Structure 1
């Protein structure tokens, strides 16, 4: 270290303080677009300095190493992939490498996506290894997940499934007396229907309340998404449901018999799971679209039929029927 300090002092005397320190503090530098830079496990400061020079991130490995020893901390650099900018202050670069501020790679699974779309998205993520199989429906918690290039896709998917397992284990004991589901598995099934029936967060508990009321009195759920699921594996149908499909017994079709379908029809998010475990207190047994992305709710069949008539009139006015 003494030898490095002496060399540094000599350099200062030779070329002047501002010139020597400019790269360390980024004086006068214009940051270029960021590039990806990887620090391998066990790498030394010397090897990292050489790699930084080869990547065009510093102009001199020797100068970087000297300035790092004199002005930087003694903390080791951390392995990982970083996003660094050519022309940025060398001191900031070193600090990022020592703190392990690695580049974040993420993949997002939206709420209500079916398992087949989860597998398709994960298989489309670049830089991962292996092929993801279609997971069990309802086993994935929709969220944004971090991954590192080179990870196995099955490992990333397992992380998503573990998140669902932990979330359900955390929420199940918090269910209220209004919840009609009898097991965590049933909670996922009903939550998947609630997820597919509304895109409005404010409606989730009310939709869950309607379906809970129907289950409690033995009414059929009559949920369109349960008819569509076995046709498309949960992907959008792209057309109206046919009468023949409404009569088909697939084990999912809730137009044929009371009770829940034989399994989930999507991967529900945390809020939909919470909704079926704590449904809204409501007398409603029916709901229909209101034309604004939400729904209007009814307590009686007569009230529901009037709401449906208004919805059909609106659709005819829009030229949709």
Structure 2
């Protein structure tokens, strides 16, 4: 009898172990295999949230098939206590293991709402936008110009959220004065900037910031980034380039930056100025004249007068020979590389072509024909604008 009981007990134990092993393997496959999510979602993890609450949220949104298995897997990998506060993008069919990694690896939020302070050439604006997980595109909720427009409620509400991301975005071609004005106006940051950095030394880019960050520290980060980009461009420069120092390359790049907003044209525009330097021609570029008038402090807001084209300033390239003494803006990486590696052309002239780009020419006759076409386009546009005004735009 006891032998029979013992035999049954061993059998039961073996069956139990077999079932337990099968259950573990099934749970492991559930944890590691692609998940049930069919469309990306944004998962918010609040400060102080625990793995139980987060796993239940994930199960309710259809991101995981089992909240308990999600918690057991996270516990087994010793990540239960590593949850990070923020909003995180969970992609379709991500496994539970991958989702645990997303929620515990730290760093900036990957979705949710962000506030972008844009320091542009013509205006400074604040944009509140939110990532739509289904399209992976940002949807604008509000935009305004500080000091010029009323602050929208969406901005005040968003700014107070713990998981909101904040970025400072510098446009290519902004001046150092514009950057300082913009940073001093960002209410998120601390510490006033009193001295404007030398022109050209700040890298146009997007910078992640947090409430309470120091403006001076951010400015130093921009300078470090530009120094690295300039060093890389100088290292990669063409051997025949008619500039002798990285500083001269920076000046040339700033002119390229201000002369065209068409990315595909940068190398051609750079080639025009390089060819002129090589031939001893004056650069004769309007943006340098404008800088001589404004010193980068704001936008001229009108066309240049003939008297201003003849006015002697250190930056008036209609008057001076060679490059001006300083950059006229902060060039981006692409313009630095275009100045360092210009296209190989014989172009020495260019003029607007009416499409937003330019018509390039090797000879004065060809350039004069391009100028005549541009004057005709200007005249036609002026007549059309006058006609629209007289008919109320109908």
Normalising by the smaller structure, the TM-score range is 0.7 to 0.9
1:111 is displaced (CA, Å) by: 1.2
Give the structure-2-normalised TM-score.
0.60
Match among 80, 83, 105 for residue 87 of structure 2 = 83
- How far apart are the structure 1 equivalents of 2:42 and 2:71? 27
1:218 is displaced (CA, Å) by: 1.5
1:291 is displaced (CA, Å) by: 0.7
Give the corresponding residue for 1:102: 108
Give the corresponding residue for 2:240: 178
Match among 181, 189, 196 for residue 251 of structure 2 = 189
Give the corresponding residue for 2:16: none
Instruction: Give yes or no for contact 1:178–1:279 (8 Å, CA) kept in 2.
Output: no
Match among 183, 206, 213 for residue 151 of structure 1 = 213
1:109 is displaced (CA, Å) by: 1.1
Give the corresponding residue for 2:336: 273
Structure 1 unaligned residues grouped into runs of 5+? 1-26, 39-46, 59-65, 86-90
**Greater share of strand residues, 1 or 2?**
2
Instruction: Give yes or no for contact 1:137–1:265 (8 Å, CA) kept in 2.
Output: yes
Instruction: Give yes or no for contact 2:84–2:104 (8 Å, CA) kept in 1.
Output: no
1:35 is displaced (CA, Å) by: 6.8
Instruction: Give yes or no for contact 2:314–2:324 (8 Å, CA) kept in 1.
Output: yes
Equivalent positions of 1:134-283 (< 5 A) are 134-232=196-294, 233=296, 235-283=298-346
1:33 is displaced (CA, Å) by: 9.0
Residue aligned with 1:287, SS: strand
**Structure 1 segments of 4+ aligned residues over 4 angstroms from their partners:** 32-38, 66-71, 76-81, 91-97
- How far apart are the structure 1 equivalents of 2:302 and 2:312? 20
Report whether the alignment pairs 1:111 with 2:117: no
* Closer, same or farther: CA 263–81 of 1 in aligned 2, 3 Å: farther
Instruction: Give yes or no for contact 2:266–2:338 (8 Å, CA) kept in 1.
Output: yes
Give the structure-1-normalised TM-score.
0.73
Residue aligned with 2:382, SS: coil
* Closer, same or farther: CA 218–83 of 1 in aligned 2, 3 Å: same
Greater relative CO, 1 or 2 (CA 8 Å, sep 6+) = 1
- How far apart are the structure 1 equivalents of 2:217 and 2:80? 28
Instruction: Give yes or no for contact 1:107–1:146 (8 Å, CA) kept in 2.
Output: yes
Instruction: Give yes or no for contact 2:83–2:104 (8 Å, CA) kept in 1.
Output: no
Q: CA RMSD in A?
A: 3.8
Instruction: Give yes or no for contact 2:200–2:329 (8 Å, CA) kept in 1.
Output: yes
Instruction: Give yes or no for contact 1:81–1:102 (8 Å, CA) kept in 2.
Output: no
Instruction: Give yes or no for contact 1:209–1:280 (8 Å, CA) kept in 2.
Output: yes
- How far apart are the structure 2 equivalents of 1:277 and 1:179? 7
